[in-house]
A and B are shown apart, each in its own frame.
Chain A
Amino acid sequence: MSSELRVEHLRKVFSVGNPPVEKAAIDTVSFTVAAGEIVVLLGPSGCGKTTTLRCVAGLEHPTSGRIVIGGTAYTDPAAGVLVPPRSRNLGMVFQSYAVWPHMTVRQNVAYPLRARKTPRAEQARAVQEALDLVELAAYADRPVTQLSGGQMQRVALARAMVYHPQILLLDEPLSNLDAQLRLRLRDDLRRIIKRAGLTALYVTHDQTEAVVLGDRIGVMRDGKLLQLDTPREIYNRPADLFVAGFTGATNVIDGSVRGSRDGFAVIEARSGEILLARHGSGLHDGAAAKVALRPDNIAFEPATPGPNRFTARVASQHYQGTQTVYELDVLGTTLEAMEVGSAARWEVGAQVTIGLPPELCWSYGG
């Protein structure tokens, strides 16, 4: 039932300003979502992720490129192919829920089936199944306006899945919910999609949402797809400085390349100290480099000896209850470090030895 989605060299260009300047909302994006897989497009607002999703839905028209679902091209401007949304057999969950306020829960969910002229008995069975899946069976005959935000979102999900679409599209479906509900629905969502065995393309700007939900994550910026990989790879092998920063590797150490040792790049920081880091692409000897590192990967007073040991001075301490964030003066810059636990061990002004694991330090051209 669920199909593979192939997006090939997708480009969408529009003109802005006066005189008009061409700007690419989507800049040659290609990726494939395997049948039954969940791919999350992650990026800041305006990066083109929602536009990509809407192109797949057929709600927007790309300038060039192809969208192939289950082996059939649904969008191919070069060949004059543009299948309207209603004939694509896709399901979509909108950011604003978009449940129809003048209908009951059941009417909302049955709507796609009625548009498809499904036989009545079959309709009732499918609606019941979809409502059971999202655990709203008890609310079937309520007007949707009486539901909470989370319930409305689940109505939207049931409506999008009731006709077993080829692909499920989700456009920031959790961003209008409050924080606690978001956490719960996030886990539910993956379970429900997986149980239904649907191929899903999910758009969000929230990295934790992306990690929990996605089989693979595609990080986008300025219309380009920077990296598409499993959450583990994205977090531990970010392809560039932006992906590193966007997924939380907010520390950046400036330096220059001084050869390599033990398979690592040797970077001389501005303080003159030497640190080892993973090779980034296109870094040659003597080139300026930036090393990205997550705050939670900095070890305080490591027990075992190893490379990348430095003495840092605690510049400030931000106690957050279950964790403490420190600002450390080290390597000619200020690094943010995080230590889990309700005890804050280091006071401002203290000298502390820190260890930066070389396999978690990533160097990029600067």
Chain B
Amino acid sequence: MVDGHAASLHDVQATSGRAIAPGRTQHPWLRWLWSGLLIAALAFLVIYPTAMLLLGALTTTNPVVEGVALSDVSIGNFLTVARNPNVLLALANSMIACGGGTLLAVAIGLAFAWVVVRTNTPCKALIASAGMLPLFVPPLVAGVAWAILGSPRTGLINLMLAKIGIPWRFDLYSMSGMIFVFGIYYAPYVYMFTAAALRNMDPSLEEAAEISGASPARTIATVTFPLILPAIISGMLLSFVVMLGIYGIPATLGTPANIPVLTTYIFALTAWSPPLYNTAAAVAVILMIVTGMLVFAQQKVLSGRSYTTVAGKAFRPRALNLGPWRFLTLGLAIVYLLVVVVLPSLALLIAAFRKFLFIRDIPSLFDMKQYGWQHFIKMFDNPLTITSIINSMEVGLITAVVGGVLAFAIGYTTTRTRAPLRRTIDMITTIPVAIPGLVIGVAYLWAWIGLPGGLYGTLWILALAFVARFIPDTVKALSTSLMQIHKELEEAAWICGRGLLGTVFSVVLPLARPGVVAAMTLLFILAIRELGSSLFLYSSGTMVMAVQLLGYYEGGNIGITAAFSLVQMVLLGLLIGATNLLSRGAARGVVRSG
């Protein structure tokens, strides 16, 4: 039965001349060819740059001048860098900033999850969705906004405090400033994990403790908390890893106070004259090792101790009646949203539209004569602004198309076929999870800078680096939507005489369309806001928005920086809105065809 079916499949392909057929033909070499192609693509995107990065960390030869030489490869070169006190300082600063930020994120995220899932606080649905907004703000924009609000001398908050006569000042150009901004912007990661855990917990687990005679405090300590602990740890590790790879926030808040962290230190090394590419590679490897260990720990926590509940039904979580206290929790939630959404937006708006950021007194804040479009006009007078926007769109498009197609091919091959080496393909695909964007940037720099006439200096190198950076998440998202398509739908098409490719195009792709559309637009969005890897790969002709924004900030013109931040936020907002519309339209399409 299976043989006959496979034979007919082969006939259809032979007669129609379709060559690529992963997994189901009688020609094993075809399946090997397909798997080989995928592995070659992944080797080109992931393994080769990573290998070059490791090589760079182990040598002292300059890749631009001398090319890559294998002559002086030695672990000693790496150890010299790893023992350098400046490197250790940057590592320590990274640990303190991200550790502190993570603790703050856990405190906020946990409180938020509890308020939203377990209390009768008013408007909690609205609070929950507004609480996710920080995830969409590029870290650099967040850093810029908070620099405007909290720089020690000219920060808006400090100016206000001075006007009111309070002698105390905020200083966000500091370690605690970085911790604060990290903490409030990455709390949603912890929130997502813990809210899901709280929501999926069988309420009778807590009721059983109550019936057993445990007080509410004892119930929380002995039942609720231990049960959501894996989710908390997992959210903690994830937010730590994300913070560790962030460049925008330390660059805006740490650098002015001379507090280097790993990411800013790596970039500083390549901006040196002459650039210290080898040292940068070695520090990038250190960052990659730390990230890799944390990601590994997170996977362990997630797989080892997830307490799935026995009954597979949906629970209605128990909502604690807070009585009048529910307005206090509402107030706290509003304060958080104010701090994380409203204040920074106001700061950007004021800075972008005000002629001078100096504010003499409160009434002058509302003096409309002080406001105008001059910063926007100046910004667009700079040809690089438009170039960077167009370049970003182009890079986004290439990333979305190349990444989407590759991710679909990998996802389909690993979840749906019996192609050889599919476990290996799956494994290589997950490697970039442990590589921060900035490290990918350094790796691509090492991979292509020494090759004349190659990718370096084109938009493609940016796009390919982004594809490599985001391929794990894209494949995971697509695999999920592929797994929701029942295998029998495909088998039915085969029985009807369709070939494998024909089935993919006529059945799988239309059904998976909402997932594919969503994955590709997400790739587009991630690509145009990516800063870390762009830093090392742009050239004057391939300037992108995120780097240009950093340029404006470092150039010291706050008005233009704020204006460009707003332009980027509006663009992102429009794109996210369009994505929602698109994926909804695509979902309707499936309902019609299904």
A residues lining the B interface (CB < 8 Å): 57, 59, 84-92, 94-102, 111-112, 115-116, 145, 149, 152, 156, 159-160, 163, 176
Contacts and interface: CB of A to CB of B under 8 A. Distances in A.
A102 B214 CA distance: 17
A101 B307 contact: yes
14 contacts: A59-B210, A86-B210, A86-B215, A90-B211, A91-B211, A92-B208, A96-B202, A96-B310, A96-B313, A102-B305, A102-B307, A111-B214, A116-B213, A163-B212
A111 B202 contact: no
Given A94-B204, A100-B223, A57 B211 contact: yes
A75 to B, nearest CB: 15
B311 interface: yes
Interface in B193-233: 202, 204-205, 207-215, 218, 222-223, 226-227
A160 B212 CA distance: 7
B218 to A, nearest CB: 6
Nearest to B227: A102
Given A100-B205, A115-B218, A95 B311 contact: yes
A74 to B, nearest CB: 13
Nearest to A54: B207
Contacts of B218: 115
B309 interface: yes
Contacts of B311: 95-96, 176
A98 B212 contact: no
Contacts of B211: 57, 59, 85-86, 88, 90-92, 160
Interface string B164-203: 0000000000000000000000000000000000000010
A297 B471 CA distance: 69
A176 B310 contact: yes
B210 A98 contact: no
Given A84-B210, A115-B218, 8 more contacts: A92-B211, A95-B204, A96-B311, A101-B307, A102-B305, A111-B209, A149-B310, A159-B212
B309 A96 contact: yes
Contacts of B210: 59, 84-86
Contacts of A156: 208
Nearest to A93: B208
A115 B202 contact: no
A98 B202 contact: yes
A89 B310 contact: no
Nearest to A171: B204
Contact of B207 (A85, A87, A88, A97): A85
A111 B310 contact: no
B212 A86 contact: yes
B513 to A, nearest CB: 37
B213 A89 contact: yes
Contacts of A90: 211
Contacts of A87: 213
Contact of B310 (A91, A97, A112): A97
B213 A112 contact: yes
A111 B219 CA distance: 11
Nearest to A112: B212
Contacts of A145: 307
A115 B212 contact: yes
A145 B310 CA distance: 9
Nearest to B207: A59
Contacts of A176: 310-311
A90 B222 CA distance: 20
B204 A86 contact: no
A115 B213 contact: yes
B308 to A, nearest CB: 8
A101 B305 CA distance: 10
Interface string B222-261: 1100110000000000000000000000000000000000
B200 to A, nearest CB: 12
Contact of A98 (B208, B213, B215, B313): B208
Nearest to A102: B226
B222 A98 contact: no
A261 to B, nearest CB: 54
A91 B211 CA distance: 7
B228 to A, nearest CB: 10
Nearest to A91: B211
Top 9 A-B residue pairs of the complex, sorted by shortest distance between their CB atoms: A112-B212, A98-B204, A94-B204, A115-B213, A101-B307, A96-B311, A98-B208, A115-B214, A85-B210
B408 to A, nearest CB: 37
Contacts of A115: 209, 212-215, 218
Contacts of A99: 208
Count chain A CB atoms within 10 A of each CB in B210, B211, B309, B310 and give the residue with the most: B211
Contacts of B207: 57, 59, 85, 92, 94, 98
A159 B213 contact: no
Nearest to B318: A59
Interface in B266-307: 305, 307
Contacts of B215: 86, 115
Contacts of A111: 209, 212, 214, 222
Contacts of A85: 207, 210-211
Contacts of B202: 96, 98
Contacts of B307: 101-102, 145
A14 B214 CA distance: 29
Count chain B CB atoms within 10 A of each CB in A92, A96, A116 and give the residue with the most: A96
B310 A152 contact: yes
A160 to B, nearest CB: 8
